[in-house]
Amino acid sequence: MNRPSPRGKRIPPFTVLRFARYLNFLCNLPEEVREISSAEMARTIGIKATQLRQDFFTLGGFGRQGRKYDTRVLEERLREVLALQGSQHMVLVGAGNLGQALANYQDFERFNLYLRGIFDTNPKLIGLRFRGIEVMGLEHMQDFIREQGIELGIICVPHSVAQPVCDALVEAGIKGIWNFSPENVLVPEGVVVQNENLSVGIMNLSYQLSIARED
Amino acid sequence: MNRPSPRGKRIPPFTVLRFARYLNFLCNLPEEVREISSAEMARTIGIKATQLRQDFFTLGGFGRQGRKYDTRVLEERLREVLALQGSQHMVLVGAGNLGQALANYQDFERFNLYLRGIFDTNPKLIGLRFRGIEVMGLEHMQDFIREQGIELGIICVPHSVAQPVCDALVEAGIKGIWNFSPENVLVPEGVVVQNENLSVGIMNLSYQLSIARED
């Protein structure tokens, strides 16, 4: 593929999200679907076909109108630009409802993202297993992260303890934090954080609805 | 406030997300904090101060460097531009772990977003209560939505039934869908959908981490 490629270049934030959606879509296709047109993919995902073709063009060699694409080649290329080819390992802190939902979420593994440890302080939760992973006491977390060399941490703890949990994760070597607590957590330089604030999601939907009403 | 204002104009997508984060931040401040500087707010949220001041400027009359802002005035203004001043009502379909986590999430109410009904097909879940709301059988959903005039629907059902559940919600009058199932759902013109795909979130974080490693 001797085409313009985003490899090594920083992909703009919204483009990353679209690439992730394309990859997710491709991974959810039935096994027997081996090719797809950009028009069909755009319609199913709910995105403009021109936008999708433009994105495909930047992937190198994709994006011509009226052509069908090999779904596996496209999938591989997306995994490559999204840096998802190697396995990545995660720990999860907080095994309440949301933590359990994430622990039971099987889709992450399609993207080589593996949950390795679950931690909580609640004695009723410690010892429970989710998809084979036992919930351990929080006091074991830092040793576990260091021993396993884990870099991704998911925070599903209450508001009031989100920052101390985040600090403990970073101290143990975590480089990427996925934070589901309502509080934005602060991280030092060199650590990335994604605050997945649920209220922000519903506020965005509510705003889009108010705009749709005006139309 | 005789300043340029985004009211009536469509706010760009990323700006809506930032406004929602600002509002969420302000709502999480301790009651006694009555003013804040843009620098302090930018640092705590983890956003560039210039970006925040630019956003505040578009809100009309905010955003001057070195000044402190009245947190309540700012909060009111954000609620106004995000169209969050009136109450909005929601139903939730699927009372598994994720559905229960959302049903127990108290923050939505700060933004005048109220969960009114929870529906599932699982007899073990029907009759349970979350924060006073009883889980009802799915067969009651459409009547409930129509009687209560509810416009927002949250989908927390498995992949395979997401689209039929979405269709039933839309048929009953739902205008905004917040979809947590891994499948993108399709909606007719005039209905807005936000696909909160969890894999997309973690793929984005993983990508940002790969970029940070290169720096």
DSSP, residue by residue, A30-49: -TT--EEEHHHHHHHHTS-H
Write the CATH number of the domain with boundaries A13-81: 1.10.10.10
Please indicate whether, in this complex, the C-beta atoms of A207 and B20 are within 8 angstroms of each other: yes
pLDDT of residue B6: 46
CA dist A59 and A53 (Å) reads 10
End-to-end, the C-alpha distance of chain A in Å comes to 44
Q: Is A90 helix (H, G, I), strand (E, B) or coil?
A: strand
Kindly provide the residue ranges of all beta strands, DSSP E only, lying in B30-175, ordered along the sequence. Answer: 35-37, 68-70, 88-93, 113-120, 129-130, 133-137, 152-155
Chain B residues with CB-CB distance to A95 below 8 A: none
Residues of A in contact with B182 (CB under 8 A): 24, 28, 107
Place of tokens 């720096």: B215
Question: Nearest residue of A to residue B157 by CA position?
Answer: A101
User: Do A206 and B131 meet the contact criterion of CB atoms below 8 Å apart?
Assistant: no
CA pair distance A79, A100, nearest whole angstrom: 27
Nearest CA-CA distance, residue A194 and chain B, Å: 6
Q: Which residues contact A50 (CB under 8 A, 6 or more apart)?
A: none
Closest listed residue to residue B59, CA positions, set B18, B101, B108, B107: B18
When scoring A47, A207, A211 by the number of chain B Cβ atoms within 10 A, the one with the most, hence best to mutate, is: A207
Pick the CATH number of B88-199 from 3.40.50.300, 3.30.70.1560, 3.40.50.2300, 3.40.50.720: 3.40.50.720
Main-chain phi, psi angles of B35, to 5 degrees = -145, 155
> Residue B163's pLDDT is what?
95
Contacts of A14 in chain B (CB under 8 A): 13-14
Q: Taking CB atoms and an 8 Å limit, are A101 and B105 in contact across chains? A: no
CA terminus-to-terminus distance, chain B = 44
Is the Cβ pair B205, A199 closer than 8 Å?
Answer: no
Q: Among B97, B108, B195, whose Cβ lies nearest the Cβ of A97?
A: B97
Is residue B60 within 8 A of residue B5, CB to CB? The reply is yes
Among A37-41, A131-135, A195-199, B60-64, whose mean pLDDT is lowest? B60-64
What residue in B sits closest to A156 (Cα-Cα)?
B101
CB B177 within 8 A of CB B166: yes
Nearest CA-CA distance, residue A65 and chain B, Å: 23
φ/ψ bin of B93: left (φ > 0), alpha (ψ from -120 to 50), beta (otherwise): beta
Q: What's the Rg (C-alpha) of chain B? A: 20
Q: What is the pLDDT of residues A154-192, one digit of tens each?
A: 999 998 899 999 999 999 999 999 999 888 888 999 999
Residue A87 distance to chain B (closest CA, Å): 11
Contact call for B113 and A178, based on CB within 8 A: no
Q: Smallest CA–CA separation between A33 and chain B, in Å? A: 16
Q: Where are the alpha helices (DSSP H) in A82-214?
A: 97-103, 141-148, 162-172, 198-214
Q: What residues form DSSP beta bridges with A91?
A: A117, A153
Question: Higher-confidence residue: A158 or A91?
Answer: A91
Q: Cα–Cα distance between B157 and B102 in angstroms, integer? A: 13
Crossing angle of helices B141-148 and B162-172, in 10° steps, is: 40
Q: Complex ipTM, two decimals?
A: 0.86
Q: What gap in Å lies between CA A177 and CA A93, rounded to an integer?
A: 11
Closest residue by Cα to residue B29 from B16, B45, B14? B45
The yes-or-no verdict on residue A1 having pLDDT over 50 is no
Which pLDDT score is estimated for B162?
95
Contact between residue A125 and residue A135 where contact means Cβ atoms under 8 Å apart: yes
Task: Going residue by residue through chain B, which has 215 residues, state the pLDDT in tens, using 9 for 90 and above.
Answer: 333 444 456 788 778 888 999 999 898 888 899 999 888 888 888 788 888 988 888 887 675 667 788 999 999 999 999 999 889 999 999 999 999 999 998 889 989 999 999 999 999 999 999 999 999 999 999 999 999 999 999 999 998 899 999 999 999 999 999 999 888 888 999 999 988 888 888 998 999 998 888 77
**Any idea where the domains of chain B sit in the sequence?**
13-81, 88-199
Of A102, A105, A194, the CB nearest to B204: A194
Cβ separation B10–A108 shorter than 8 A: no
* CA–CA separation, B12 and B59 (whole Å): 13
pTM of the model: 0.84
User: Is there a contact between B55 and B82 (Cβ–Cβ < 8 Å)?
Assistant: no
Of the candidates A176, A184, A203, the beta carbon closest to that of B205 is on A176
Residue A11: C-alpha distances to residues A27, B28, B138, B198 (Å): 21, 32, 42, 20
**pLDDT at residue A63, as a whole number:** 59
Residues of A in contact with B11 (CB under 8 A): 207
The yes-or-no answer to whether B13-81 and B88-199 have a common fold is no
- Residue B79 CA, chain-centre distance (Å), reads 13
> Which of A25-29, A81-85, A87-91, A207-211 holds the top average pLDDT?
A87-91
b/e map B130-146, b = 16+ CB within 10 Å: beebebbebeebbeebe
Chain A residues whose beta carbon lies within 8 Å of the beta carbon of residue B176: 205-206, 208-209, 212
